[in-house]
Chain A
Amino acid sequence: MTPPRTVEVELLAYDARDIVRAAGGEGAGLPHRLGALLGEGLEQYSRDEAEWSTLAAVVGGAGTAVGGSTAPRLQILRRREAEALVVSMRARTIASEVEVQRLSARVEALEEANAHFKARMLQLRAEVRRLQRRRDQLRSLLERRAPEQDPPRSLAARLATWLRRLWRRWAMP
């Protein structure tokens, strides 16, 4: 005989308390007792659903008879179903909201790391650009040839210059 399959379900603690109480309370064999309760729930839900279909065919879909009087049995069945759905939905909703919180915290941490990386990258790139500019500047300075000195002037040229100055002084006192 194969062992029964186990299923783990998450519930709000106060909903779980009612379910555990209905299964006979905490203690040994609780998973099996919960399995039996589940079987009971399946039977009852199926029976109620069949009953609801029969009743709904007689009275209006909203549980109101054609003459205006409500069908109490239909309301009871609907209440049972809605309350069971609420128990399940509470657990699902809270689980999703907790997941939102967990992911938000993760996104926050990742954004922080991202900002740090971005700042570091910008800083490094700025430093690289600064050094590249400096390197290019130094390279151009080193590659520039030193200005050549004028060749020594001849005696005739120096005499011509002296005569020009003398002429200017004589012509424009």
Chain B
Amino acid sequence: MAATPVAAVGDAMTHLVFPARVRLVVAIPDALLERLEAFVAERGWNLQDGVRILLAYAAALHAPGTGGPTAEETVNAWGAARAELALLRHRAYLADESVRTLRMNVTALEAANAQYRRSLPAVEAELARLVTPESLIGVSEPLSPDQLATAPAARQSLPRGY
């Protein structure tokens, strides 16, 4: 199948509705590819943009109803296209900025979380080492100073370090 629907990543989570997208596979003969690459490089486009623009350009010539628009219709359509293009460029600029910022956030958060994953076991081990002194001498309630002073057995049962 040549036209493949593109999975709408994230749409279900955000409930934002994006227009459906598809992927088209274009087979480009070598001779055409050479010319195409030179053509897009000359205009500062990338290959994807170049293919899309040229496909749309050719398709518009085949579209029905474009044979004889009036001058006014042409000017209006041109104006509308320019306005939409300006709006799309602005939206793309904002989105690209957001993508850049979000990618930095992802990198920073992944690094922070990786650091937590590395350091948490050490703190958990420290906590396991610091078992309650009371439990070591076999009582459940914290001992009062008097109890401790008069409990030589307790003193002896504490390990070194306590």
- What residues of chain A have their CB less than 8 Å away from a CB belonging to chain B? 2-16, 18-23, 26, 30-32, 34-35, 37-42, 44-46, 70, 72, 75-76, 78-107, 110-111, 113-114, 117-118, 120-121, 124-125, 127-128, 131-132, 134-135, 138-139, 141-142, 144, 146
Say how far A171's CB is from chain B's closest CB, in angstroms.
42
Q: Return chain A residues, CB-CB under 8 Å to B96.
A: 96
Query: Using Cβ atoms and an 8 Å threshold, which residues of chain B touch A4?
Result: 27-30, 33
Q: List 9 A-B pairs, minimum CB-CB distance, nearest first.
A: A41-B58, A41-B54, A96-B95, A87-B56, A117-B116, A82-B81, A103-B102, A22-B62, A22-B59
Q: Which residues of B contact A (CB under 8 A)?
A: 2-3, 5-6, 8-11, 13-14, 16, 18-30, 32-33, 35-36, 39, 47-49, 51-63, 71, 74-75, 77-78, 81-82, 84-85, 88-89, 91-92, 95-96, 98-99, 102-103, 105-106, 109-110, 112-113, 116-117, 119-120, 123-124, 126-127, 130, 132-133, 142-143, 145, 148-149, 154-155, 158, 162
A-B contact pairs, 26 of them (CB 8 A): A6-B27, A7-B47, A7-B48, A20-B24, A26-B2, A31-B2, A32-B27, A35-B29, A37-B55, A38-B58, A79-B78, A82-B85, A84-B53, A89-B88, A89-B92, A96-B92, A97-B95, A98-B10, A99-B95, A101-B18, A121-B119, A124-B127, A127-B127, A134-B132, A142-B155, A146-B149
**Residues of A close to B98: CB separation below 8 A:** 100, 103
Give A132 to B54 CA distance when docked, in angstroms. 72
Q: Is the CB of B123 within 8 A of A35?
A: no
The SS class assigned to the B binding surface is helix
A5-B30, A80-B57 known; A22 and B63 CB under 8 Å? Answer: yes
Give the distance in Å from the alpha carbon of A40 to the alpha carbon of B81 in the complex.
22
- Residues of B with C-beta under 8 A to A40: 58, 61
B85 touches A10 (CB 8 A): no
B74 & A19 in contact (Cβ 8 Å cutoff):
no
* CA–CA, A162 and B95, complex, Å: 99
Residues of chain A lying within 8 A (CB to CB) of residue B9? 98, 101-102
Besides the known contacts A16-B22, A35-B28, A103-B99, 17 further A-B residue pairs in the complex with CB atoms under 8 A apart: A4-B28, A7-B51, A8-B23, A9-B55, A13-B5, A22-B59, A35-B29, A70-B75, A78-B78, A82-B85, A84-B56, A84-B57, A96-B99, A105-B13, A106-B102, A128-B127, A141-B149
Residue of B nearest to A71 (CB): B71
A83-B116 contact given A10-B22, A46-B39, A134-B132, CB 8 Å threshold: no
Name B90's closest neighbour in chain A (CB-CB). Answer: A93
Find out whether the CB atom of B21 lies under 8 angstroms from the CB atom of A113: no
Q: Are A38 and B55 in contact (CB under 8 A)?
A: yes
The answer to whether B56 and A88 have CB atoms under 8 Å apart is yes
Given known A-B contacts A86-B88, A107-B109, A121-B116, A13 and B95 have beta carbons under 8 A apart = no
- CB neighbours (8 Å) of A141 from chain B are 145, 148-149
Residues of B close to A127: CB separation below 8 A: 127
